[in-house]
Structure 1
Amino acid sequence: MVASVRLLSTVTLALFSCFLDVVSSRRDVLELGDADFDYLATEHETMLVKFYAPWCGHCKKLAPEFEKAATKLKGIVQLAKVDCTAHSETCGRFSVSGYPTLKIFRNGQDSAPYGGPRTADGIYQYMKKQTGPDSVHLKTEEDLQTFINHYDASIVGVFSSADSSRLAEFLKAAGLLREQFRFAHATDLKLGEEYGLDSEGALLFRPPRMANKFEDSVVVFTDYLTIGSLRRFIRDHIYGLCPHMTLENRDRLRVWDLLTAYYDLDYHHNTRGSNYWRNRVMKVASKYAGRGLMFSVANKKDFLSELEDDFGLGASDGGELPFVTVRTKLGHKYIMREEFTRDGQSLERFLDDYFAGRLKRYIKSEPVPERNTAAVKVVVAESFDDIVNDPGKDVLIQFYSPSCPHCKKLEPVYRELADTLSSDPSIVITKMNAVDNDIPLGYDVQGYPTIYFAPVGKKDEPIRYEGVRELKDFLKFLNREASHSLVFSGSKDEL
């Protein structure tokens, strides 16, 4: 009996502690409204404001991450929220048109839209960079060493004096790019001499954790300094031969054709082990430099859900060895099927096949239906080109999710539309499960159902359907956009 009481007390205390943590995180998010927004916002040098609606699903998903970030940023950056259903005047004043909308405020003034990740750690890292000066003033060699001995890369401008016109331009660039990169400056040319900079310019220091023998750890910028030229310099050199891809920088890296080796990478706790495989990737990468492919490494655990969804790979694939994928900027995907060998030979064979065009693209696709005789034709990724991109037919395609209630509601209307046009040999009404099939380039599917029309002669410019989802509205749209006069199975009164 005593043991049971003690156990109950322990559980009760644990639950109470969890409750206090939740309440505390919520209190760390400041609630603002029409009556007090201007008054309270001006009290904070830097503030991230979430404009939301209580019914919004994306807002509900963001809420716990936002609250965790608020607790981590307490005393550094204030996080706040505004319920736009209750405080429409404030939301209207800041042109909030969708939910959630996140904006950065400085001393109460709308400074910039928030463009960072929407995870607690991502918000924390992004907003932490928004504090302090745009560029740190370094006065001594010790200041410089402290600044560049950092987890991330560093850009340091070196100038002859505080009145230098190039310094003014450097500071403007730092203000524009501070959310992505770390900036510092010195007004003593001696600080640059050791690194090969004997006049005004800038130095890019790669992170010490990623030091290697295949590239320089410092890159010198000596061109005429403008915001544009410095931005290009950073873009071309910041990532080096083989960057560490994270959830925060992946979108910036994927503007290139990108090879990624995924493994148990952990630069916080095992730098040597992380670099063991990275150095092997870099050895091979150095042989293929300049051929239009960027190389990267990533923590497999961070990307498990993406790898499963996009490549059909699971946590056990590769074992302790890296597994390698290529994702091109056009969305084409390839997987290295051979085991990653320590001498790099398997990676070289994979790259030789890739550049020679011998690799088969990986396409996530359901099986092509053996029979496809219903009025609404089923499209899968493997059959998309054959059906939707048929050069002789107009095609309406609905991207849906099997669990979406709106898709289920649309189903009888969509089927009736297909039946109505079943006698028309020049138009096809189709649907594709967008969860279990790759969505082709050119089709932006963020929610379900999403409907596009791919007309004859304009397959690379599909038209998004934004109208009412009723039979007569679909028919009016198709009658307007189709490459031919529609042929109806029944009466033409539908129009």
Structure 2
Amino acid sequence: MYWIHICLLLTCLCAAFAKEEDVVELVDSDFESRMSDYEVALVMFYAPWCGHCKRLKPEYAKAAEDLLRNDPPVMLVKVDCTEGGKESCTKYGVSGYPTLKVFKNGDVLQDYGGPRDAAGIVKYMKAQVGPSSKELETVADFDKFLTAEKDVSVVGFFEKETDLKIAFMKVADKLREKVRFAHTSFKNILEKQGTKNAIILFRPAYLANKFEDDSVTYSEKADADQIQQFIKENYHGLVGHRTYDNKDDFKNPLIVAYYNVDYNKNAKGTNYWRNRILKVAKNHKEYNFAISNKDQFQMELNEFGVEFTKGDKPLVFAKNDKDQKFVMSGDFSIESFEKFVKDLIAEKLEPYLKSEAIPESNDEPVKIAVAKNFDEVVTNNGKDTLIEFYAPWCGHCKKLTPIYDELAKTLQNEDVAIVKMDATVNDVPQPFDVKGFPTLYWAPKDNKNSPVRYEGGRELNDFIKYIAKHATSELKTYDRKGNEKKKTEL
């Protein structure tokens, strides 16, 4: 048994190393000469100690193995910026790790802006080689194209050169990195499909269901914008498979069912629940619908107050077009889901608000805002307001705390509120946009709907000068330049 375990371990290690070997490692001495041999290549400039690089490497290796089989092959390259590749990294302006760039015949074509999982890298890089739309000559070519990838296929059928074909090719050039395109003018394929001048979007077989057609046809005006809109509206179908890489495709108003979505290991179980979502979604096109893997989107579930999930049934959450959040309570069933959707559309549901408890006392110079008292402490306080959105673990926030406290004490008799809010445990309302910590905003008392991000210095005097200049009414103790006013003797 011991030796069986050792053999299995060695087999796994060999497989891992074989994939690593599919990535070409270059150094300064051979970078330019080797890169000129590759028609298209993706280069990862990395540092061995970089955590993001370590996470990317296995996905990069898996992608390399797949792309070597492409026709033509696409090479994946890595360069260590801390050792043999220092000069190359400097030459190509690498300032952070990992940096990925697409090269063509040895020259930089563009910065890589695609996904960072193996499947996403493969799809993105395949789009960089050959024409943006593949020409299909035989029925076998057509059938192979539709089944070669588990993805949407958009095919143009043109009996002759037409304005529709010209518009189609423009769209293919524009969307080649996201969508698979092919076209044909060959009679045998046109006859099989039964069309002579149309564009058809074919959905992947794994998403087939009885609630929507497997394909959608466009035969309208020869207009590139309209064709692009047609693809956008139909690409994900009634209930899209929402992943981390395509999540930005799904816009509000949106309803998402989170469960054990896994089309590789459990396609049947995944579609069991998706079909129940589809049954309701087909009657309510006012909202967009999607399914997502609950583990992959745990951070999103946290935003709806869910720290741990158990069981197989979907959890359903929604956002309306105002970005308000809604939670479906109770166990999932078609009936409960239908009721949730109807009540959501009819605006009968109370929005979910992630919030700390309202402080029992808020008498300190720095006022505490939470989601539940935000209107009172910020929006409707009748004062110009400086608000800091922070995270308890943030080092820069901790450094700012004594300065911020001193600022509040200095201005406590002015018509100005100094406020802070823990943005990790409270929903941040619109129009405040918080992506890092600390983020500070200045909200004038007469225009709270248009707050201005504070980008100034973070010393006490920096804050005072800014507030003195921008306050709605001149401060009592400082002039507009932030100079302290002289006290008038009685």
Q: TM-score range by the shorter chain?
A: 0.7 to 0.9
Q: Which residue of 2 aligns with 1:333?
A: 325
Answer yes or no: is the 8 Å Cα contact 2:158–2:165 preserved in 1: yes
- Say which of 230, 242, 253 aligns to 1:233: 230
Identity %: 39
Q: 306, 310, 316: which one pairs with 1:324?
A: 316
SS in 2 for 1:105: strand
3-state secondary structure, aligned to 2:379: coil
User: Compared with structure 1, are the counterparts of its residues 120 and 194 closer, same or farther at alpha carbon in structure 2 (3 Å cutoff)?
Assistant: closer
Counterpart Cα distance in 2 of 1:442 and 1:94: 38
Does 2:40 align with 1:46? Answer: yes
Identify which of 200, 212, 223 aligns with 2:220. Answer: 223
Kindly provide the CA deviation profile for residues 105-130 of structure 1, in whole angstroms up to 9, marking residues without a partner as x.
22233333333233455434533444
Local SS of the residue matching 2:239: coil
Secondary structure, aligned partner of 1:267: coil
| 1:77 Cα deviation from its structure 2 partner | 3.3
Shift of 1:89: 8.6
Distance change in 2, residues 1:83/1:472 (3 Å): farther
Residue 352 of structure 1 and its aligned partner are, at CA, apart by 1.9
2:261/2:294 contact within 8 Å kept: yes
State whether residues 452 and 462 of structure 1, in contact with CA within 8 Å, keep that contact through their aligned partners in structure 2: yes
The residue aligned with 1:427 is: 416
Candidates 437, 455, 464, aligned match of 1:475: 464
Does residue 260 (structure 1) correspond to residue 256 (structure 2)? The answer is yes
Q: Which amino acid aligns with 2:229?
A: R
**Does structure 1 retain, via aligned residues, the 8 Å contact 2:153–2:201?**
yes
Match of 1:300 among 290, 294, 300: 294
1:48-77 per-position Cα deviation (integer Å, ceiling 9, x unaligned): 34467899xxxx332113322331233333
Q: 1:157 maps to which residue?
A: 156
Find the counterpart in structure 1 of residue 140 from structure 2: 142
- The letter for the 2-side match of 1:68 is P
| Range that drifts further, 205-214 or 40-49 | 40-49
Q: Alignment partner of 1:174: what SS? A: helix
- In structure 2, C-alpha distance between the alignment counterparts of 1:19 and 1:494, rounded to whole Å: 72
Distance 2:369 2:17 in 1: 45
SS in 2 for 1:73: helix
Preserved CA contact (<8 Å) 1:73 1:128: no
Q: CA deviation at 1:235?
A: 0.7
Residue 310, structure 1, aligned to residue 300, structure 2: no
Measure the CA separation in 2 of the matches of 1:462 and 1:84. Answer: 43
Give the SS at the match of 1:248: coil
User: How much has 1:294 moved relative to structure 2?
Assistant: 0.7
| 1:104-253 equivalent positions in 2, closer than 5 A | 104-119=102-117, 122-149=120-147, 150-161=149-160, 166-195=164-193, 197=195, 199-253=196-250
Deviation at 1:477, TM superposition (A): 1.4
* Deviation by residue 1:157-187 (Cα, 9 ceiling, x = unmatched): 11225x6564454333223212211111112
The aligned residue for residue 446 of structure 2 is 457
Unaligned stretches of 5+ residues in structure 1: none
Q: Deviations over 1:20-53 (max 9, x none)?
A: 96898499364566x7665443332223344678
Following superposition, the deviation at residue 188 of structure 1 comes to 1.9
Cα displacement (A) at 1:336? 0.4
Offset at 1:413?
0.9
Report SS of the residue matched to 1:452.
strand
RMSD of aligned alpha carbons: 3.5
| Correspondence for 1:404 | 394
Aligned equivalents of 1:23 and 1:147: distance in 2? Answer: 29
Any gaps of 5 or more consecutive residues in structure 2? 69-73, 486-490
Q: Is the 8 Å Cα contact of residues 421 and 489 (structure 1) preserved in structure 2?
A: no
Alignment correspondent of 1:287? 283
Question: Deviation per CA, 1:259-293, whole angstroms, max 9, x where unpaired?
Answer: 1112222222333322222121111112212x2x1
| 1:274 corresponds to 2:270 | yes
Distance 2:318 2:243 in 1: 16
Q: Is the 8 A contact 1:158 1:189 kept in 2?
A: no
Find the partner of 1:438 among 416, 427, 430: 427
Residue 306 of structure 1 aligns to which amino acid in structure 2?
A: E
Letter in 2 for 1:458: N
Kept in 2: contact 1:44–1:107 (CA 8 A): yes
Distance, in Å, in 2 between the alignment partners of 1:194 and 1:140 is 10
Secondary structure (helix, strand or coil) at the match of 2:469 reads helix
CA deviations 1:198-222 (Å, max 9, x no partner) are x322110011111122111111111
Q: Tell me the amino acid that sits aligned with residue 328 of structure 1.
A: N
TM-score, scaled to structure 2: 0.85
Q: Which amino acid aligns with 1:427?
A: V
Give the Cα–Cα distance (whole angstroms) in 2 for the partners of residues 432 and 465 of structure 1: 15
Q: Which structure 2 residues correspond to residues 88-107 of structure 1 after superposition, within 5 A?
A: 101-107=99-105
CA positional deviation for 1:249: 1.1
Equivalent residues of 1:375, 1:415 under 8 A apart: yes
Shift in CA distance, 91/446, structure 1 to aligned 2, threshold 3 Å: farther
Aligned to 1:64: 54
Contact 2:366–2:420 under 8 Å retained in 1: yes
Residue correspondences, number: 473
Question: How far off is 1:480 after superposition?
Answer: 2.1
Q: 1 CA distance for matches of 2:109 and 2:100?
A: 11
The question of whether the paired residues in 2 share the 8 Å contact of 1:241 and 1:294 is answered with yes
